[in-house]
Structure 1
Amino acid sequence: MTATVSPVTARDQEQRGFSTSAFATFVGTWQIGLYFWIAVVLISAGLTVVLDTWSELDGSVAEGVLGSAPIFLSVMGIVVPLGMLPLHLAGGATRRSFVRGTVTAAVGLGVTFALAGAVGMLIEYAVFNALDWPTVVDNPGLYDSSGDFFAIWLSWSLSSIAYFLAGTAIGFGYYRWGGILGTVQLVVAVGLVIGGELALGGGLPSGMFGELFDSGPMPLLVGVLGCTAAIAALTYLVHRTLRDIPLKSGSRAAGC
């Protein structure tokens, strides 16, 4: 006698898999992220003291340190989903719910990490402004001062989402395709991230490649749409890689 699953039960199971995946990815990343934020706040404060004592402050210090949050999220995008997939499938959930949960977590992480960074920048702005220190940033994009709270939040949110999804695409690309094709996927993912960063302006990629594509700052809407398109492409890349990914023989859920 063959057991069947009712449509309602299947939908409930899919929803539970999605919710569990999103929650575990979000919370698991933030548990480690708390230590990241403690470290970057201490580094920012220390650098400010050192530069004020032995050099001269010519702009925001926190922008270069707190702005490393997307890079941290790219690493977490590689590590966390890779560790979760076998357990997710072993619990009876689907790859589809895992993809949906991972993408949802990426959005939540991007927005909340960017909010934390924007608050940190605003605090720096208040301190620097009170001491009559300059608050400009090195690579202006959607924002040109550490006090541009909403522009920083928007810009860093989009960047952080893109970096996390790129990390996920890279990790599972090597897991599924191996060295050669995994490297091809890495190049594609990194290219999309750089394209999104160039659209927004600012950030490390703009500082490195901005002169090669120097056409002046893009309008806000164009920059946001450009980075959103890069995020959509990265989401599609994650979906295509994960939708029927086989588990390695050593994985706990390989037989499921």
Structure 2
Amino acid sequence: MRFPTRLLAAHSYFALLLFAAYVVVVAVIAVGVDVFGTLNRSAWEAAVQLPRWYALFVGVALIREYLPLYLAHGQTRRQFGAQAAVTIALFAPFLSALITVGYLLETLLYGLAGRPQVIDRVHLFTEPTQVPLVFAEYLVEFVAWIVAGAFIAAGFYRWQGGGLLLIPVGVGLWILVEGAIGKELRLPFIGDRLSGLSADLPQSTGLALGVGLGVFVFGLAATWAIIRDVPLRNR
């Protein structure tokens, strides 16, 4: 089994298909809002909350599904750990690039329709056409969500129910990254109740990238500490 190239290609292809379908769904919703109401802000900005959860479950799948599969086919844990890091390092920017393209497509469509593409949340960017800043922001977010997913999944794989104890750490990684970006802390069913936990960090692209790199290194190191000698489980 060729890893990580085959795994990376499969996930990238699937993400591309999901992206195409998601763009169509968001476009249909935006048209509906324009027909039956007032379309005066970016629909894509709201829609990109969901891909973060996809990134989280990619991280979970790396450990829960692919770790035992590749160990059973002759990979060592060290080989898997190193190549999983490569997969995350390449897949996160791929997802970020898709999100950036989505903003640009929306800019084009809103321009043709004569609608304002207003961004009403805090970001590293102020306009959706600021491609490097858009890419940097979502790169940092996707790195944090994938790494958090892998870290939490490693805890559940090794200790089963004991993995619950690692969830606050995974959430902490996300809070740190969101604080560096300057975003409000919002999750489904929780809303802004986590806002009081937000890290009070000065907002800058350099700091956000530095925090993202730190989360990437810490998260992978912590995940490796859990899986380095984990027994292969029968499911």
| TM-score range normalised by the length of the shorter chain | 0.7 to 0.9
Q: Which residue of 1 aligns with 2:210?
A: 225
Aligned counterpart in structure 2 of residue 238 of structure 1, from 220, 223, 226: 223
- Counterparts of 1:41 and 1:211 in 2: how far apart (Å)? 33
State the partner residue of 1:79.
61
Tell me the equivalent position of 1:36. Answer: 18
2: distance between equivalents of 1:210 and 1:224?
A: 21
Instruction: Say if 1:95 and 1:244, in contact at 8 Å, map to a contact too.
Output: yes
Partner of 1:63: 45
Residue number in structure 2 paired with 1:101: 83
Paired residues of 1:25 and 1:102 also in contact (CA < 8 A): no
The one of 116, 121, 136 equivalent to 1:134 is 116
Equivalenced residue count is 231
For residue 3 of structure 2, give the secondary structure of its aligned residue in structure 1: helix
Structure 2 residue runs of 5 or longer lacking an equivalent are none
Identity, % of aligned positions = 23
| TM-score with structure 1 setting the length | 0.81
Cα–Cα, structure 1 residues 29 and 54, in superposed 2: closer, same or farther, change >3 Å? same
Could you say which structure has the larger radius of gyration? 1
Q: Give the distance between the partners of 1:204 and 1:118, measured in 2 at CA.
A: 21
Residues 111-167 of structure 1, C-alpha deviations (whole Å, 9 max, x = no match): 011101101101111222343322232322211232222111111112112211111
Change (3 A) 1:31 1:201: same
Give the letter for the 2:164 counterpart.
T
For the pair 1:192 / 2:192, whether they are aligned, the reply is: no
Q: 1:144 aligns with which of 109, 115, 126?
A: 126
State which of 88, 92, 111 in structure 1 corresponds to 2:74.
92
Tell me the amino acid that sits aligned with residue 24 of structure 1: R
Distance 1:68 1:87, change over 3 A: same
In structure 2, the partner of 1:7 is none
Q: Normalization by structure 2: what TM-score?
A: 0.87
C-alpha distance after superposition, 1:13-66 (max 9, x if no partner): xxxx8xx33223312322432342133112210111011111112311012213
Provide Cα deviations, 1:172-206, integer angstroms capped at 9, x if missing partner.
21010121x30111221121112112211337649
* C-alpha distance in structure 1 between counterparts of 2:97 and 2:54, whole Å: 15
- The one-letter code of the counterpart of 1:237 is A
Tell me, what secondary structure is at the counterpart of 1:45?
Answer: helix
Give 1:107's aligned amino acid: A
Q: Does 1:247 align with 2:229?
A: no
Give the letter aligned to residue 226 of structure 1: V
User: What secondary structure is seen at the aligned counterpart in 2 of 1:147?
Assistant: coil
Distance in 2 (CA, whole Å) between partners of 1:41 and 1:227 is 27
Describe the SS at the equivalent of 1:128.
Answer: helix
Q: Which runs of 5+ in 1 are unaligned?
A: 1-16, 252-256
- Partner SS state of residue 135, structure 1: coil
* Partner of residue 53 from structure 1, selected from 35, 51, 56: 35
